[in-house]
Amino acid sequence: MSKPAQPSDNERLKEQSDYLHGTIAQDLGEQLTGGFQGDNFQLIRFHGMYEQDDRDIRAERLEQKLEPNKNVMLRCRLPGGIISPEQWLGIDRFAGEHTLYGSIRLTNRQTFQYHGVLKKDIKTMHQWLHKLGLDSIATAGDVNRNVLCTSNPVESALHREAYEWAKKISEALLPQTTAYADIWLDGEKVASTETTGKHAVPERADSGDAVEPVLGKHYLPRKFKTTVVIPPHNDVDLHANDLNFVAIGANGRLAGFNVLVGGGLSMEHGNHKTFPNTAQEFGFVPLDKVLACAAAVVSVQRDWGNRSDRKNAKTRYTLINKGLDNFIAEVEQRMGARFEPVRPYHFTSRGDRIGWVKGEEGLWHLTLFIENGRLLDYPGRPLKTGVRKIAEIHRGDFRLTANQNLIVANVAPKDKAKIEKIARAHGLISDSVTKQREHSMACVSLPTCPLAMAEAERFLPQFIDQVDALMAEHGLADDHIVLRVTGCPNGCGRAMLAEIGLVGKAIGRYNLYTGGNREGTRIPRLFKENITEAEILAILAQWIGAWAQNREEGEGFGDFAVRSGIVKPVINPAVDFWDEQP
pLDDT tens digits, 227-247: 999 999 999 999 999 999 999
Model confidence at 456, in pLDDT bands (50, 70, 90)? very high
Active-site entry in 75, 105, 168, 353: 75
The interaxial angle of helices 416-425 and 383-393, nearest 10 deg, is 160
Using pLDDT thresholds of 50, 70 and 90, give the confidence band for residue 190: confident
Phi, psi of 223 (to 5 degrees): -60, 155
- Distance between CA atoms of 581 and 41, rounded to whole angstroms? 41
3-state class (DSSP) for residue 208: coil
pLDDT at 116: 97
The average pLDDT across 438-464 equals: 97
Which carries the bigger pLDDT value, residue 546 or residue 32?
546
- pLDDT band, residue 192 (cuts 50/70/90): low
Average pLDDT score over residue span 404-411: 97
Which member of 443, 484, 494, 518 is catalytic? Answer: 443
How many CA atoms are closer than 13 Å to the CA of 109, on its beta-carbon side?
Answer: 26
98-112, 195-209, 395-409, 414-428: least confident range: 195-209
CA distance 178 to 168: 19
- Residue 76 annotated to the active site: no
Q: How far is it, in rounded angstroms, from Cα 486 to Cα 513?
A: 12
CA 14 – CA 466 distance, rounded (Å): 47
d(CA 400, CA 19): 31
Considering the candidates 76, 492, 505, 522, report the single residue annotated as catalytic.
492
Distance CA 454, CA 221 (A): 28
- Sheet-wide strand order for 500-506: 440-442, 483-486, 500-506, 509-514, 525-532
Judge whether 75 counts as a catalytic residue: yes
Q: 3.20.20.10, 3.30.413.10, 3.40.190.10, 3.10.20.520: which CATH number matches 1-7+143-350?
A: 3.30.413.10
What is d(CA 74, CA 113) in angstroms, rounded to the nearest whole number? 5
Q: Which residues of 550-568 are buried (b: 16+ CB within 10 A; e: fewer)?
A: ebeeeebbbbbbbeeebbe
Tell me the sheet residues that pair with 130: none
- Asked whether the predicted pLDDT for residue 80 surpasses 90, the reply is yes
Return d(Cα 169, Cα 166) in angstroms, integer.
5
Task: Provide the H-helix boundaries in 372-411.
Answer: 383-393
DSSP string covering 217-258: TT--SS-B-EEEE-TTB-TT-GGGSSEEEEEEEETTEEEEEE
225 in active site: yes
Catalytic residue among 76, 149, 293, 449: 449
Give the whole-angstrom CA distance, residue 411 versus residue 408.
7
pLDDT score for 199? 65
pLDDT digits (tens, 9 = 90+) for 298-312: 999 999 999 999 999
Given the residues 105, 109, 145, 525, the one annotated as active site: 145
- Give yes or no for a contact between 152 and 194, defined as CB atoms under 8 angstroms apart: no
Same fold, 1-7+143-350 and 355-435: no
Residue 187: predicted pLDDT? 85
Q: Assess whether pLDDT exceeds 60 at residue 429.
A: yes
Whether pLDDT at 214 is above 80: yes
Strand ranges across the sheet with 374-375:
49-53, 70-75, 112-117, 104-106, 374-375
Q: Is residue 375 over pLDDT 70?
A: yes
Greatest pairwise CA separation for the chain in angstroms: 75
**In which band, very low, low, confident or very high, does the pLDDT at 197 lie, cut at 50, 70 and 90?**
very low
Provide the 8-state DSSP code for 504: E
- The C-alpha atoms of residue 146 and residue 167 are separated, in whole angstroms, by 9
Strand partners for 355: 367
Position 421 pLDDT exceeds 60: yes
In the predicted model, is pLDDT for residue 288 greater than 60? yes
φ, ψ of residue 441 to 5 degrees: the values are -150, 150
| 449 in active site | yes
Per annotation, catalytic residue among 223, 302, 314, 518: 223
pLDDT digits (tens, 9 = 90+) for 523-571: 999 999 999 999 999 999 999 999 999 999 999 999 999 999 999 999 9
Question: Is 223 noted as a catalytic residue in this protein?
Answer: yes
**Which one is the CATH code of 436-576: 3.30.413.10, 3.40.47.10, 3.10.450.710, 3.30.70.20?**
3.30.413.10
Mean pLDDT of the chain: 96
For the cut 70, the answer to whether the pLDDT of residue 2 exceeds it is no
How would DSSP label each residue in 264-317?
B----TT-TT---BPPEEEEEEEGGGHHHHHHHHHHHHHHHS-SS-GGG-SHHH
> One of 45, 225, 314, 384 is an active-site residue; which one?
225
Residues 6+ apart with CB under 8 A from 445: 452, 454, 455, 456, 457, 458, 459, 486, 487, 488, 504
Q: What is the DSSP letter of 159?
A: H
Told to judge if 488 belongs to the known catalytic residues of this protein, a careful annotator would answer yes
Query: What is the model's pTM?
Result: 0.96
CA–chain centroid gap for 335, Å, is 27
Q: What distances in angstroms separate CA 117 from CA 35, 50, 561, one per listed residue?
A: 11, 10, 44
Q: Is the pLDDT of residue 155 over 90?
A: no
Q: What is the H or E stretch that residue 563 is in?
A: helix 557-563
What integer is the mean pLDDT of 372-389?
98
Catalytic-labelled residue, pool 76, 149, 293, 488 = 488
What are the structural domain ranges in the chain?
1-7+143-350, 355-435, 436-576
Residue 149 in contact with residue 169, Cβ under 8 Å?
no
- Say if residues 137 and 108 touch (Cβ distance below 8 Å): no
- pLDDT at residue number 198: 54
Homologous superfamily of domain range 355-435: Sulfite Reductase Hemoprotein;Domain 2 (3.90.480.10)
pLDDT at 579: 95
> Could you say which DSSP state residue 386 is in?
H
pLDDT (0 to 100) of residue 194: 45
